Amino acid sequence: MSVGAESAGGAAVLDGIRVLDYGRFIAAPWCSALLADMGADVIRVEKREGGEDRWVQSVTEGGEGGTFLQCNRNKRSLTLDTTTEEGREITRKLVAGADIVVANMPAAGMRSSGLDYDTLRAVKPDVILASATAYGEGGPYSERIGFDGAGQVMSGAVYRQGLPDQPIRTVVPYADFGTALTLTIGVMMALFHRDRTGRGQHVEGALLPTAMMLSNAFLIERDLLGIDKPRMGNQGASVAPCDLYRTSDDGWVLLQIAGPSMFARWCRLVGRPELLDDARFADDDSRWRHGDILNDIMARWCAGRTKAEVLQLLERAKLPAAPMHSTQDVLDDPHVAAMGYLKRVPFPGAAHDVPILDTPFRLSATPGQIRRRAPLLGEHTAEILGEIGYTDEQVAALRERNVV
């Protein structure tokens, strides 16, 4: 199934690159999805009953989940029992024709599945292994398993966010998606290195260092100044006024003020020019320390206006503000529509075409594109096995023996 137009430059950047995807949930599958967007042939290798991530947050009659539909577009599905000798032989043949193997599991699981780097490069010397784990390899936590929340809570970020008496992790799995992005960067660097030297390598990503990257400033502040600022809900961590403010029609607007010129424009807008001469608001740090005063002024100002009025006035004053969107608001947003950020992709058993996020970066000459929907379980098993030399009769026999 084809979706979208041909790229402006003809051939896609990664045409001819084959990826074996043993990933589950987000960190590895989103990495391979981005490679697929850019033209790589990505084969998702699943257990015969399907990977666990296929069925989470079900949105279709068949049971496929929303995150699965996003993270597995542009892929083909092969079911395989890798614990059998015939399954291991198929794995070796697949690896022999692959450029990249992507997986996310602890090192012990990689070894037992024959997906560790030493085993892979014995089959294909220039292969690139991209692995994602919770904590990274080589430390005391390396054998532990963990989802996105583990990276969040162990990075120090959750300690700093939420309400004064209630830390709150972020429901959006940013450690998972962030790890997918860093892993993708590493894979592209490894491909560049292979083109120069002919040698493959092991690329490693992990949830904990990704989450630490995103909250590193908190660690620096603690180490150098010996302080942890308190949890303050939606208020800013270092500037004020900054918060989500309720409007007269029960909408919400985010405002973030930083720097003297922005603060001056805000003071004039809310009719409080005398604040510019108040020593309590002399700089960002001072404004943050007295943020309750400034946020209270802004809250009262917004409470007497509709969301549309607040946004119009803030935009006119060139102040960085944004409406809080519901999920339906995002689907209906005219800018999202004009930019084509969501592509409508048909999927069997879905109520209607599914809004799938387009490639989240854009190249002017060789853009990524969604060419096909996420695969049904084992949809391409016969096709893929045929490509590595199995006849229709052999595939049928493998099915009878429950190997595929």
From the candidates 176, 243, 284, 358, which is the catalytic residue? 176
Asked if the model's pLDDT at residue 1 lies above 70, the reply is no
Tokens of 156: 């120090």
Domains and CATH numbers, the chain: 18-215+372-401 (3.40.50.10540), 242-325 (3.30.1540.10)
Cα gap 54→51, rounded to integer Å: 6
pLDDT at 78: 98
What pLDDT, in 10s, does the model give residues 306-333?
999 999 999 999 999 999 999 999 999 9
**CA-wise closest residue to 323 among 259, 244, 264:** 244
Full-model pTM: 0.93
Cα gap 156→219, rounded to integer Å: 8
If one counts every other C-beta atom within 10 angstroms of the C-beta of residue 150, the result is 19
Q: For 109, phi and psi rounded to 5 degrees?
A: -65, -35
What pLDDT, in 10s, does the model give residues 338-349?
999 999 999 999
Residues β-bridged to residue 356 = 343
pLDDT at 9: 47
What pLDDT, in 10s, does the model give residues 94-140?
999 999 999 988 777 788 888 999 999 999 999 999 999 999 999 99
- Cβ neighbors of 170 (< 8 A, separation 6 or more) are 152, 158, 161
Alpha-carbon 249 to chain mean position = 33
* Contact in structure between 317 and 265 (CB atoms under 8 Å): yes
Cα gap 170→178, rounded to integer Å: 13
Tokens of 105: 């599991």
Decide if 176 is catalytic.
yes
What Å distances lie between residue 61 and 53, 365, 376, CA to CA?
16, 38, 12
What Å distances lie between residue 25 and 33, 54, 267, CA to CA?
12, 8, 47
What pLDDT, in 10s, does the model give residues 365-390?
999 999 999 999 999 999 999 999 99
Tokens of 51: 């990977």
Cis omega (within 30 of 0) on the bond before 241?
yes
Asked if the model's pLDDT at residue 148 lies above 80, the reply is yes
| Exposure string for 209-227, b = 16+ CB within 10 A, e = fewer | bbbbebbeebeebeeeeee
Tokens of 101: 């193997």
pLDDT at 10: 63
